Amino acid sequence: MTNAVEDPSEFRERARTFVREHLETVVAADQVGILRNQRSDEEELAAVARDREIQRLLFDARLAGICVPEAYGGQGLSPAYQRILNEELTGHEFPERLQSPTFAPCLSVLLEFGSEEQKQRHIPAMLKGEEIWMQFLSEPSGGSDVAGALTTAVRDGDEWILNGSKVWTTGAWWSDWGLCLARTNWDVPKHRGLSVFMLPIDREGVEVHRIEMLNGSKEFCQEFLSDVRIPDSDRIGEVDDGWTVGTRWMFHERMGMNSPLTTIPHGTTHAGAGNLSMISIARDAGRIDDDRAVDLIGEAQTLSLANQALRRRLAEGIASGTMSDQSSAIGRLFAGRTAARSGTIGIDLAGAGGAAWTPDDGALVEVGLDFLMRQVTCIGGGTTEMAANVVSERVLGMPRELTMDRDVAFRDVPRSPSAS
């Protein structure tokens, strides 16, 4: 029997057996918080190595790339099978660091725009855990204006020379490859002069600097590209048509955990304290029977359930064609604001314990830092403000926001001295 006709019940039993035999159970409290600085560098590298190991185990068990075509090492099955695997993974470890952005959006972009040689070279390596990919997208001077990229790519025969800087790349210091948006033409409006490249992060000329956040986390990085040579064979899509790739790239980024290419235990959230922790916070703050605390816990639970239902609805609607792919911005907008609200609920429950704590304060530890970091969930993966724009203009059909640089050659667009 081939994977394509495997009965769902048989697939579920096979997935359940694999999970029980090969994966450790996890404590919900271990996944609470926003980019908490809980590991040393050595521990983080060990966790990355374990993620790679789990991914290889999944691959060998025919449980990696459930919706990836068999020609590239996947299983060629429908999203229903991915949902089954996600359900069976609930409460267990999984290769978290490979899901975003390696599988969504990077693998998604390769599937859609990569050459056959690029797909054959990289997608099986991703599915085996041999390549972890990052997005070289945001820039220090660009804010949310991705199309305003200043990183340049200049052609030199069969190579391109890249210069510039990218920023807010989570985990770049332990990753392998980057998907990079660069400017290849300054004489056309900004959206028409971009191209997309892929490059190994250890390539000569790539310098990775880690950024320390207010809670001590150093997972965010800034990359400096100095005369980095990339073969033209590592260009994705056509020259100067990078915005065509970029719009789909950002769609896949907004899909995130909703993507059928990601393996995510059912109910997992990557930002904000979970509902189980809300109960723990109220208990350790001595407020478990407080009426106001009960209301807050109920709100958090309601937001979580609504978020999960919305994710399923969007995934099904986009996959079936009954909803525009731009509707993914609805999920991005709701998830970001929900996660930020959860950070506020957490500190409301913690009270004074959210401002000052000791290591013995249980669930109250670092709730205050989570509150201060809550806006990360509205920035990473594309800002919620940009998602709101997409919803208004591309989903609801409202008039486009007025811009003054739409038909202006990019080199003639005024920029501050620091951005030049």
How far is 248 from 252, CA to CA, in rounded Å?
6
Asked if 354 and 389 count as a contact pair (C-beta separation under 8 A), the reply is no
Supply the pLDDT for residue 31.
Answer: 54
What percent of the chain lies above the pLDDT cut of 70? Answer: 93
Instruction: Give the span between the Cα atoms of 249 and 108, in whole angstroms.
Output: 8
Q: Per-residue confidence at 383, pLDDT binned at 50, 70, 90?
A: confident
Mean pLDDT over each residue of the chain, to the nearest integer? 91
Q: Binning pLDDT at 50, 70 and 90, where does residue 183 land?
A: very high
Q: Does domain 135-250 have CATH number 3.30.70.380?
A: no
Higher pLDDT, 176 or 416: 176
Q: What is the mean pLDDT of residues 129-133?
A: 98
pLDDT (average), residues 223-228? 98
Domain range list for the chain: 3-97+112-130, 135-250, 269-395
Q: How far is CA 259 from CA 29, 31, 253, 374, 383, in A?
A: 25, 21, 9, 24, 18
Region of poorest pLDDT, from 42-56, 193-207, 241-255: 241-255
> What proportions of the chain, in percent to the nearest 5, are helix, strand and coil?
50, 15, 35
Per CATH, the number for 269-395 is 1.20.140.10
Band (244; pLDDT cuts 50, 70, 90): very high
Q: Are 76 and 260 in contact (CB under 8 A)?
A: no
Q: List pLDDT tens digits, range 8-19.
A: 999 999 999 999
In the numeric block, which tokens belong to residue 19? Answer: 């999970």
| More confident call, 401 vs 337 | 337
CATH topology for the 3-97+112-130 domain:
Butyryl-Coa Dehydrogenase, subunit A; domain 1 (1.10.540)
In sequence order, the β-bridge partners of residue 225 are 164, 206
The residue with greater pLDDT, 179 or 2, is 179
Mean pLDDT of 353-367: 92
Q: How confident is the model at residue 1 (pLDDT cuts 50, 70, 90)?
A: very low
Work out the number of other CB atoms within 10 angstroms of the CB of residue 75. Answer: 24
Residue 267 has pLDDT above 70, yes or no: no
pLDDT category of residue 38 using cuts at 50, 70 and 90: confident
**Mean pLDDT, residues 166-180 taken together:** 96
pLDDT, tens digit, 9 for 90 and up, residues 276-316: 689 999 999 999 999 999 999 999 999 989 988 998 899 88
Q: Tell me what pLDDT residue 28 has.
A: 56
Compute the average pLDDT of residues 177-182: 98
Tell me how many degrees the CA angle 352-358-363 measures, rounded to the nearest 5.
70
Checking if the pLDDT of 182 tops 60, the result is yes
Name the CA dihedral angle for 305, 308, 312, 315, rounded to a multiple of 10 degrees.
150
Quote the pLDDT of residue 273: 44
Q: Which of 36-40, 81-85, 210-214 is predicted with the least confidence, judged by mean pLDDT? A: 36-40
- Cα(224)–Cα(211) distance, rounded to whole angstroms? 13
Instruction: Give the position of tokens 């892929």.
Output: 198
pLDDT bucket at 167, cuts 50 / 70 / 90: very high
Band the pLDDT of 61: cuts 50, 70, 90.
very high
- How does residue 21 score in pLDDT terms, banded at 50, 70 and 90? very high
Q: What residues contact residue 355 under an 8 Å CB cut-off, 6+ apart? A: 368
Can you give the pTM of this predicted structure?
Answer: 0.88
Least confident of 31-40, 101-110, 345-354, 397-406: 31-40
Which range has the top average pLDDT, 189-198, 380-389, 411-420? 189-198
